[in-house]
Structures are given as C-alpha cells and as structure tokens.
C-alpha cells in the first residue's frame, strides 16, 4: 500500500497497515473499523453509509494521512470501544476471534456438487472434533438444511441474536429455507436484499466459537456469488470442479473472480471424478481427471478427488448426510485443515 491514504482504500486494509488510524475513524464517529462487514468497505463507502458529507469525508482522509505522518489531526482521537475497534480479521492474531476461519465454497456452475461438498466437508471436520458452522449463502436455492434434516425455525438466542439450528452431529446451520413457510417457496430477491440477508446471517446469528464457518455460495460466477463474497469477511475460497468443467474454462472464470475480489484460493476439489464398481473397477465417467491442471491454474493444492456415489443422493434427499462415511472425504478434510495451517 502506498503511504498516502485515499478514499477508495478498504477500511480493513488501512487499519491493518496503520493501526493508529483506528482512533481517527472513531474520532470522526465512523465505527466501521469495529464491524466485520463495514470494515470491508472503502473509506468513501463507509462515510456514505453513515451519511457523511463529501467535505467530512475529505476531512477524514486528511486526518488519516496526518496521523500516519505524525501530524496533528482535527478531531480528538478517540479510542475504539472495548473489545471492538478492530475488524474481526484483524483481531485474528487468532485467539480472540470467535470464528477462526470463514471459508467460501464456490463452483463455476450449478450441479457440480458444491453444496454436497460443503455439507460433507463440515461432517468430516466435525468428526475430527472441529467446531463447525455452515452458512447457506445460496439464498435463492438453499439446500443445506434439507441435507442435514434440520427442521423448524431459528429462535432468539439468550444473547439477543438468532440461534442457529444444530444438526444431530453438532454442526450449526443457518439457511434461508428455515424462514420459508414451504420449502418450495421461491425467493425472488435482488442483490441488495441478498447481501443484507447474508450480512445478518453472519453477524446476527449467534454462532458462538467456531473453528470453521463454511459458506455455501450461490452457483456460478455471476452477481450472486460475488454479492455474498463481498458481504462477508471471507478468509479463503475452496473451488469445486468436475472433470468436464475445465474443458469449458468455467474453472478459469472462478479463479478470475476470486482474484478480482483479492481472495485466497485454499484449494480445489475435483468432484464426480470417477465411479467405482463393487469389484473395484474405476470408470472416469466425465472424462479423465484434471487434477494436475487445476493445481497449476490455481496455484493451490488439490484437496480432494471424489467419486460419484449414488448412495449419497438418497442420504442427502432424506436429510441424513451425516450418516455418510467415505475415506475420500476424510482425506479432503485432513488436507483442508493442513493447507489452512500452512497458509495462516
């Protein structure tokens, strides 16, 4: 980052680089540094959200630059409120961060198994003793709650937040279909509504302490997954692909989208890579594996190479995904945890 702060810089980046600026933001009555979501906006966006005039924005920018150069500022620098004042990801020096990692699961198109991989990754992580939550970010096509068989509406938590539903295995879940009268009801929302629902799913839900919050993004590389990614403080992205996806360059679109958002690709999962008969013969139904190409395209490891298993569909459709066990998914979870340890 250059040593001049401009209005288009992201608040989180500014305070990460120059901690002294936190007091200036608060001195001007701009609380965004304390907000996991607001801190991902630019200084100008934060000022706009809080209805500051352009003149006041100019003054904030001037003061931010003054404080980093050791010059006097126009407001009394104010301390951030206790326990806040730094964005969630800055508080990460990790112990004091309640949700240790927010990981988005992305796929370039629907039907690749993104939701299934999200669900089964959560199951395997939970089996390892990790504290896991799943935020179903696919607001208009939610499927996570169904897969886990969690029914009913979320209630108010003792802290005044929303209590997530908890699966039989202890995975915390929040999904839009918990709020629908009938599961088949369509959700016809546009970007800003989706974005604000997602922000609420993140910040108003009482997730408690979590090692991983997995976010099942809407499929594709359009506006919808982008909206969700921008609404949350995502630490990393897992891309789910299938062998034929590479041929259509859909994976490249995913990679470009993550790069555009300056995100980190934790790894790639190749789903539906093969089918194995009871005699152990393997058939690559959707074509040969592209694992090596995926690794060189993303610069990230191949976390999993998953078979097509027809028994999965039945389990998912009857809300019993947690009863599924396969070595390939345990391996996926192990690789995922190890990769994050290295990247952290």
Give the pairing of strands 265-276 and 282-283.
antiparallel
Q: Which is nearer to ligand ADP, 46 or 113 (CB)?
A: 113
How many chain residues are in contact with ligand ADP, going by CB under 6 A?
18
Site for ligand ADP in 315-334 (CB under 6 A): 316
Q: Which is nearer to ligand ADP, 41 or 322 (CB)?
A: 322
Choosing from 38, 87, 113, 291, the residue that interacts with ligand ADP (CB under 6 A) is 113
Choosing from 80, 295, 308, 326, the residue that interacts with ligand ADP (CB under 6 A) is 308
**Least Cβ distance, residue 344 to ligand ADP (angstroms):** 27
Q: Which is nearer to ligand ADP, 75 or 187 (CB)?
A: 187
The separation between CA 343 and the C-alpha centre of its own chain, rounded to angstroms, equals 16
Nearest-CB residue for ligand ADP? 113
Choosing from 74, 153, 256, 313, the residue that interacts with ligand ADP (CB under 6 A) is 313
**Least Cβ distance, residue 112 to ligand ADP (angstroms):** 4
At residue 287, φ and ψ (nearest 5 deg) are 105, 170
Residue with tokens 């992205």: 237
Site string for ligand ADP, 204-243 (x = CB under 6 A): ---------------x------------------------
Q: In the structure encoding, which two tokens stand for residue 236, read together?
A: 């990393």
Burial 238-264 (b: 16+ CB within 10 A, else e): bbbbbbebbeeebbebbbebbeeeebe
**Least Cβ distance, residue 290 to ligand ADP (angstroms):** 16
Nearest one of 227, 265, 238 to 139, comparing CA atoms: 227
Q: Which is nearer to ligand ADP, 219 or 291 (CB)?
A: 219
Choosing from 33, 39, 101, 107, the residue that interacts with ligand ADP (CB under 6 A) is 107
Site for ligand ADP in 142-171 (CB under 6 A): 143
**Least Cβ distance, residue 131 to ligand ADP (angstroms):** 23
**Least Cβ distance, residue 329 to ligand ADP (angstroms):** 10
Strands (E), the chain: 99-107, 132-136, 165-166, 172-174, 210-216, 236-241, 265-276, 282-283, 302-307
The whole-angstrom separation of Cα 85 and Cα 342 is 28
Choosing from 114, 126, 146, 199, the residue that interacts with ligand ADP (CB under 6 A) is 114
The whole-angstrom separation of Cα 192 and Cα 198 is 10
**Least Cβ distance, residue 322 to ligand ADP (angstroms):** 14
**Which region, judged by CB under 6 A, interacts with ligand ADP, from 85-93, 176-184, 251-259, 305-313?**
305-313
Choosing from 217, 229, 312, 332, the residue that interacts with ligand ADP (CB under 6 A) is 312
Q: Does the footprint of ligand ADP cover residue 309 (CB under 6 A)?
A: yes
Q: Taking a C-beta distance cutoff of 8 angstroms, is the pair 174, 228 a contact?
A: no
At residue 131, φ and ψ (nearest 5 deg) are -90, 120
Q: Taking a C-beta distance cutoff of 8 angstroms, is the pair 85, 131 a contact?
A: no
Site for ligand ADP in 15-74 (CB under 6 A): none
Q: Taking a C-beta distance cutoff of 8 angstroms, is the pair 308, 274 a contact?
A: yes
DSSP 203-272: HTB---SEEEEEEEPPSSSSHHHHHHHHHTT--EEEEEE-HHHHHTTHHHHHHHHHHHTT--EEEEEEEE
- Footprint of ligand ADP (CB under 6 A): 107, 110-116, 143, 219, 271-272, 306, 308-309, 312-313, 316
């Amino acid at each position: 980052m250059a040593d001049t702060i401009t209005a288009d810089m992201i608040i989180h980046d500014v305070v990460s680089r120059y901690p002294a600026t936190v007091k200036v933001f608060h001195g001007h009555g701009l609380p965004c540094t304390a907000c996991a979501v607001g801190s991902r906006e630019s200084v100008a966006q934060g000022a706009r959200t809080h209805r500051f005039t352009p003149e006041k924005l100019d003054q904030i920018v001037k003061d931010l630059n003054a404080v980093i150069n050791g010059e006097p500022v126009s407001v009394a620098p104010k301390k951030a409120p206790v326990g806040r004042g730094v964005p969630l990801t800055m508080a990460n020096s990790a112990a004091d961060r309640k949700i240790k990692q927010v990981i988005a699961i992305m796929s370039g198109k629907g039907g690749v198994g993104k939701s299934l991989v999200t669900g089964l990754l959560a199951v395997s992580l939970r089996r390892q003793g990790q504290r896991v939550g799943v935020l179903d970010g696919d607001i208009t096509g939610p499927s996570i709650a169904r897969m886990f068989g969690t029914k009913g509406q979320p209630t108010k938590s003792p802290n005044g937040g929303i209590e997530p539903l908890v699966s039989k295995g202890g995975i915390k879940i929040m999904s839009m279909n918990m709020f629908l009268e009938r599961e088949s009801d369509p959700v016809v929302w546009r970007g800003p509504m989706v974005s604000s629902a997602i922000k609420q799913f993140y910040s108003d839900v009482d997730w408690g302490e979590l090692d991983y919050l997995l976010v099942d993004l809407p499929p594709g590389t359009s506006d919808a997954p982008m909206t969700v990614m921008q609404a949350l403080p995502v630490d990393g992205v897992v891309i789910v692909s299938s062998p034929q996806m590479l041929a259509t360059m859909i994976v490249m679109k995913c990679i470009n989208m993550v790069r555009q958002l300056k995100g980190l690709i934790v790894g790639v999962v190749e789903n539906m890579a093969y089918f194995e008969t009871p005699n152990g013969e393997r058939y690559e139904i959707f074509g040969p594996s592209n694992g090596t190409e995926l690794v060189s395209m993303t610069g990230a490891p191949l976390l999993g190479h998953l078979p097509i298993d027809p028994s999965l569909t039945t389990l998912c459709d009857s809300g019993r995904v947690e009863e599924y066990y396969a070595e390939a998914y345990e391996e996926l979870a192990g690789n995922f945890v190890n990769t994050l340890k290295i990247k952290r």
